[in-house]
């Protein structure tokens, strides 16, 4: 009886653990390019080019125009000057279409024309960072009442040093804390460079 109960509790704790098996600190981040949007305008984003300027915060999020993702984008936008002061750039990545991201990036309540967001419609970029792509149940709506017609990834942020090594992997925390931890990491990296 005790063994059965212990086995059940162990199984329950494993199932309750966050399900991301992302790249870890010290791993080499994969290079990628994607169609992205800033201030409602699409452009071609190159991770390689961004790394030439300094550390890059690559934050993956489930979907534009959803509660936690709206809050996270807004928090990044509010703090973008602090990231820039630490020499870092920020790029959000989701499986949203570029059309949805054009609206999201320009919306003053969310990205506020300050945070670039990249479209990863087939999940290829997410998978290259060892993130699982999942289907969204049919009938799910965003905060605007529109259908969410794409897959999703967990909210995981990577801070990548200019040499391409992952300095931090941040997952399993609330949206605001995710941004705060990313800012702490880039601030620490900036201090180490001085």
Residue 14 has pLDDT above 70, yes or no: no
What mean pLDDT value characterizes the chain? 90
Looking at residues 175-191, what average pLDDT do you find? 97
Residue 90 has pLDDT above 80, yes or no: yes
Contact 91, 117 (CB under 8 A): yes
Confidence of residue 192 (pLDDT cuts 50, 70, 90): confident
Confidence of residue 12 (pLDDT cuts 50, 70, 90): very low
The more confident residue out of 24 and 18 is 24
Active-site positions? Answer: 69
Looking at residues 60-82, what average pLDDT do you find? 98
φ/ψ (deg, to 5) at 187: -65, -40
Task: For residue 54, count other CB atoms closer than 10 A to its CB.
Answer: 18
Please give the Cα distance from 113 to 104 (Å, whole number): 9
Provide the greatest CA pair distance for the chain: 62
Beta bridge partners of 117: 37, 92
Looking at residues 58-64, what average pLDDT do you find? 98
Short-list 120, 117, 143, CA closest to 131:
120
Please give the Cα distance from 164 to 145 (Å, whole number): 39
Beta-strand relationship, 89-94 and 56-60: parallel
- The pTM of the full predicted model, rounded to 2 decimals, is 0.88
pLDDT reported for residue 115: 98
Looking at residues 100-111, what average pLDDT do you find? 97
Residue 5 has pLDDT above 50, yes or no: no
């Amino acid at each position: 009886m005790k063994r059965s109960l212990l086995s059940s509790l162990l199984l329950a704790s494993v199932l309750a653990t966050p399900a991301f098996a992302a790249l870890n600190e010290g791993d080499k981040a994969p290079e990628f390019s994607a169609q992205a949007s800033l201030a409602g305008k699409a452009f071609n984003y190159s991770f390689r080019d961004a790394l030439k300027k300094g550390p890059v915060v690559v934050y993956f999020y489930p979907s534009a125009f959803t509660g936690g993702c709206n809050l996270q984008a807004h928090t990044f936008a509010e703090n973008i000057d602090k990231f820039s002061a630490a020499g870092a750039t920020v790029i959000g990545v989701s499986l949203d279409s570029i059309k949805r991201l054009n609206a999201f990036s320009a919306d003053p309540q969310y990205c506020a024309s300050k945070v670039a967001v990249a479209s990863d419609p087939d999940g290829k970029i997410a998978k290259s960072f060892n993130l699982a792509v999942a289907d969204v149940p049919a009938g799910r709506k965003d905060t605007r009442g529109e259908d969410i017609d794409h897959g999703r990834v967990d909210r995981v942020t990577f801070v990548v040093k200019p040499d391409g090594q992952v300095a931090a992997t941040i997952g399993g925390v609330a949206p605001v804390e995710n941004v705060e931890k990313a800012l702490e990491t880039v601030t620490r990296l900036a201090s180490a460079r001085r």
